[in-house]
Amino acid sequence: MAATKIIDAPRNGHEMAPLNTRARGDGSHGVTIVLTAPQRNSVSSVEIPGDPERAAWSGKMQFFLSIIGYSVGLGNIWRFPYLCQQNGGGAFLIPFMIMLILEGIPLFLIELGIGQRMRLGALGVWNTIHPWLGGIGISSCIVTLFVALYYNVIITWVFFYLFNSFRYPLPWSSCPTNETGAVIEECALSSETAYFWYRTTLDAAPSMEEPGGLKWWIVLCLLLSWTIVFFIVMKGIQSSGKVVYFTSLFPYIVLTIFFIRGITLPGASAGLMHMYTPKVEKLGDPTVWLDAATQVFYSFGLAFGSLIAFGSYNTPKNNCVRDVLLVSVCNAITAIYASVVIFAILGFKATANVDRCIEQNKDILYKHSMIISPNVTMEQYEAAMEGANMTDTKLGLSVCSLSKELDNAAEGTGLAFIVFTQAIVELPGAPFWAVLFFTMLLSLGLGSQIGILEGMLCTLFDIDIIKRVKKQHVTGVVCLFCFIVGFIFCTGAGEYWLKMFDSFAGTIGLVVVALMEMIAVVYIYGHERFTEDIYQMTGYRPGWYWQLTWRYIGPVIMVGILASSIIFMIIKNPTYNAWNADTGSVQQKDYPPWVMGIALTMILAGVLPMPIVFLMRSFQCLKVDLDIHQGSIRRNETTASTKEMIDNDDDDDEDDFSGPALGGHVKTHSDASDDDEDDKPVTMRSTMLRISGNHLDVPSSRKSFKMEVFDL
């Protein structure tokens, strides 16, 4: 049998011998396997692994807007302002910025940079760094699925409110009446906006154990949400990349409109002063720093695999360091900007409530002849109130305090659907402002949901079997599955289930994944190698700041967040707020044991794939073949640049290097040093062993191809 000549590659002491295998003796085709290490002596010498036909951004703006749309989400609107108010006002910006610098930005660059370097999704990246780390990608995908399930439910509720915003007057501006014309007691005991949220929108059940049936209006809105999401992401960034121009830019337009309107409203200055007045003593509270670290972690959308996917669509020479800094600054500024807008309008709402309270007190005082007219001056009113307080007569007067009104803060759905909707009612032309507000929430939610699903789908398409299926079909199956599972959020206990998912499914799992990502890149892949990768891609070599945060500070902060989350979960009995129709208020209830069992299952499902894959591969419980290491071993079809070398290889029959496809022995170059194997990274040595222990499935066509094993 004729032999072939081995292709010479640049030698730097880390090469393994090329293998050439002829599957047939008639010379119909050949297979060449070349194992090389990338040249690292210049920026221009970078060799990028991954799929050569991978989708790419159509432009820099599309990538930047996609990252902004994903990172800047609902948390910037309804979580950050609440944290500022509760954790020291303006003083909270100090721990927030410190955690942003020490935790957020370094981990952001790790995910974006490693994705761009390897041009693979989360599963492919961690399999490439080391097969034992493949569970990180699986865990990330599972946790992302849990979050995608309930995140789209929030978009569902936004759709319901958006549709009702076109009614005049707004349906949450007044309490409904019964057949006799009397106000419904449940609404009278609570408020117009609270009643519309809990009864009209959710038809809230008394507890998780009594969920009631499906609410058809929520099911229809959920179907609409998943249908829109499907059409946006069904073709990957080719379709979603066009939508981000709206989902990323429109919220800033709306925030600016609300800002201009908000600062002109009475009471806006009071709201801003209440929020940003620094309470420096709060900085001594460890929970303030923990809240800051947690907010930074979740506001960037770290550990979902989405940033890795977005980075993998970049060109190899994209300046990812600059992108990380720009997005980080933009994210922080957006959170502060949104807080100004929110509290300017909440200050107006608080002032309106205080004025209404004073008017009610004046009417009471007038009825008891303590003032001469309801239109007395504030001095006369305050004097009458002092006199009334000195007497023991119970007149039913209320305490009208602006600070008390501003202290009644809310976060999450409570802020968006109860507190802020009440502020919108006070504005002239309320339906217009309601449409603007909920369209902004819709664009923010869709932008984040697009990124979440893109990260999960990109991970799925790292699996060879799924890669053979059209992306539209896979996306359709995923969206249909999520829609069906989402029925659990369409019952009367839907909000309670969402709170449970938010508290358990996307907390511990994400932090563990982020910690393992940092360890994998810095200590297994190697911080020096990753630093060199960044230099090759951008021309910038990360200095001491990046090294300290990657190697020491970042992992310590991640461990701190993880430990505190577990401790608080154990010490504080997990509860949820259930709506009590009899009192018109929420009351805390303990999760039923079976619900806590589901919560524990979700946590384990997001964490266990990492140790399971590690143990099964380290003890060789699974037969590891080439398909699961697509980042390390892949097939490149012959191109014009390689055709001549392959043809020369086929024409020269001096030596015979029969390889594993024929059961032959794997030989090395005669001039290769015996110490080469010891110099190779663990991932490269183990890759060679896997090749020599498997049979290569060689196609029967005459088309030549080259299979390369890259040392990353």
Query: Phi and psi (nearest 5°) for 540?
Result: -110, 130
Distance in angstroms (rounded) separating the CA atoms of residues 618 and 389: 76
**Residue 146: CA count within 13 A, CB half-sphere:** 29
User: What's 59's DSSP letter?
Assistant: S
Q: Are 630 and 312 spatial neighbours (Cβ–Cβ below 8 Å)? A: no
72 marked ligand binding residue: yes
Contacts of 529 (CB under 8 A, 6+ apart): 712
Contacts of 33 (CB under 8 A, 6+ apart): 18, 19, 20, 21, 659, 691, 696, 706, 707, 708, 709
Tokens found for residue 677? 């194997």
Tokens found for residue 14? 């880390």
Q: Please, which residues bridge with residue 590 across strands?
A: 575
Contacts of 611 (CB under 8 A, 6+ apart): 135
Cα separation values, 323 from 113, 188, 587, Å = 10, 52, 45
580 marked ligand binding residue: no
User: What's 584's DSSP letter?
Assistant: T
174 marked ligand binding residue: no
**Among residues 21, 37, 26, which one has the least CA distance to residue 684?**
37
76 marked ligand binding residue: yes
Q: Are 404 and 436 spatial neighbours (Cβ–Cβ below 8 Å)? A: no
**Among residues 567, 629, 705, which one has the least CA distance to residue 124?**
629
Distance in angstroms (rounded) separating the CA atoms of residues 226 and 156: 9
608 marked ligand binding residue: no
DSSP assignment of 283-346 equals GG-HHHHHHHHHHHHHHTTTTSSHHHHHHHTS-TT--HHHHHHHHHHHHHHHHHHHHHHHHHHH
The CB density around residue 42, as the number of other CB atoms within 10 Å, is: 9
444 marked ligand binding residue: yes
27 marked ligand binding residue: no
Q: Are 307 and 521 spatial neighbours (Cβ–Cβ below 8 Å)? A: no
Residues flagged as binding site: 69, 72, 76, 299, 331, 444, 448
Residues flagged as binding site for Na(+): 69, 72, 76, 299, 331, 444, 448
